[in-house]
Amino acid sequence: MSSELILHHYDFSNYSEKVRLVLGLKGLTWRSVEIPPTLPKPDYIPLTGGYRRAPALQIGADVFCDTARIIEELERRFPDPTLYPGPDPVAQRAFIAGLERWTDATLTRNTINYISCEHADADRFTPEFLTDRAALLGKPEPGLAHRKAAAAKNLAQLRPQLHWISDILHDGRTYIYGESMSLADCVIYHPLWVMDQLAGERTTIIPDVIREWMERVAAHGHGSPISMTAHEALNVAASSDPLPVLPSQALAGDPALGETVSITPTDYGRANPSLGTLVSIDVQRMALQHRNALTKRVTVHFPRFGYSVRKREE
């Protein structure tokens, strides 16, 4: 039974970068499977049961979707060094979860929208990529006049957020929480980092105090990735059994264990839900199992926050 960590990701994916930083902070060795940034993803979707977004962490025949669920699992398996080095790790975890809602939703949306309008001619924005993202977000592809206005609008939203980050760092601290890097650094870093990746150059709007902190964070690296093909990863799933599932504590209105369900992001990517049999659910997390010829039986894990679960009529 393989317990190797297999990360399915791609280079300029900011959510993948969040997880890569966690792997670096913990000094882990992992297998790296490069997935396409646009649909179709024929070697990835058989693992996730339909979910298209990046990244996912595969361990044998268990697949963890969404950075929140992936990072929870990494902290559980590899608690040392911790992602929550403060005096009260339980409270710190909750505060960072709140912080992450800001950076994953608003900050990421503003940095990506700003850069894709301001640097619309960057190599990264191929027609294929833009069409895929317009469909993913359910929006039309913007014309040139609209782009200029949207860049200005997003920059106006971005500036106050950059000030918040500069203010956190104004006393010369090394990391967001002081002397030790924590998950707070990873969750603020990735939406800023992605601007340079998409523009293909160093973005000028990031102030020096933030740039210097970003360099300290990046210096922790990504751990030790060893590449793996998508085909090898599918074979790992097919030759492993899923781990025993977590005990359940369903809420009123939840589907029953054993029912066929769909698990769908509540924000974007709703056209690509995961389908399977509900095997575990509690207030924070849920999991379904599916099987196909490529993977055999696989358990796919999601956080409860940001995903809805519904019974499907067969």
Ligand X SMILES: N[C@@H](CCC(=O)N[C@@H](CS)C(=O)NCC(=O)O)C(=O)O
Site residues, ligand X (CB under 6 A): 13-15, 37, 52-54, 66-68, 104, 136, 306
- Indicate the burial class of 55 (C-beta count within 10 angstroms; 0-12, 13-18, 19 or more): buried
Q: 135-148 as b/e, with b when 16 or more CB fall inside 10 Å?
A: ebeeeeebeeeeee
Q: CB of 54: closest distance to ligand X in angstroms?
A: 4
Pick between residue 173 and residue 195 the one whose CB is nearest to ligand X. Answer: 195
Pick between residue 8 and residue 31 the one whose CB is nearest to ligand X. Answer: 8
Q: CB of 309: closest distance to ligand X in angstroms?
A: 16
Q: CB of 314: closest distance to ligand X in angstroms?
A: 27
Q: How far apart are CA 69 and CA 58, in angstroms?
A: 12
Indicate the residue whose CB is closest to ligand X: 53
Contact 296, 47 (CB under 8 A): no
Q: CB of 305: closest distance to ligand X in angstroms?
A: 9
| Closest CA relative to residue 194, chosen from 3, 16, 46, 9 | 16
CA–CA distances in Å: residue 145 to residues 115, 122, 126, 208, 313:
15, 17, 19, 31, 46
Pick between residue 28 and residue 112 the one whose CB is nearest to ligand X. Answer: 112
Please name the residue that has the structure tokens 């509540």.
266
Q: How far apart are CA 164 and CA 275, in angstroms?
A: 40
Tokens of 303: 């956080």
Q: 176-206 as b/e, with b when 16 or more CB fall inside 10 Å?
A: bbeebbbbbbbbbbbbbbbbebbbeeebeeb
Q: CB of 289: closest distance to ligand X in angstroms?
A: 21
Q: CB of 7: closest distance to ligand X in angstroms?
A: 12
Pick between residue 26 and residue 53 the one whose CB is nearest to ligand X. Answer: 53
Distance of CA 172 to the CA centre of its chain: 29
Q: How far apart are CA 25 and CA 186, in angstroms?
A: 9
Q: CB of 195: closest distance to ligand X in angstroms?
A: 13
Pick between residue 134 and residue 256 the one whose CB is nearest to ligand X. Answer: 134
Tokens of 290: 């599916």
Pick between residue 200 and residue 306 the one whose CB is nearest to ligand X. Answer: 306
Pick between residue 40 and residue 87 the one whose CB is nearest to ligand X. Answer: 40
Pick between residue 196 and residue 259 the one whose CB is nearest to ligand X. Answer: 196
For the chain, the farthest-separated pair of C-alpha atoms sits apart, in whole angstroms, at 59
Q: CB of 14: closest distance to ligand X in angstroms?
A: 5
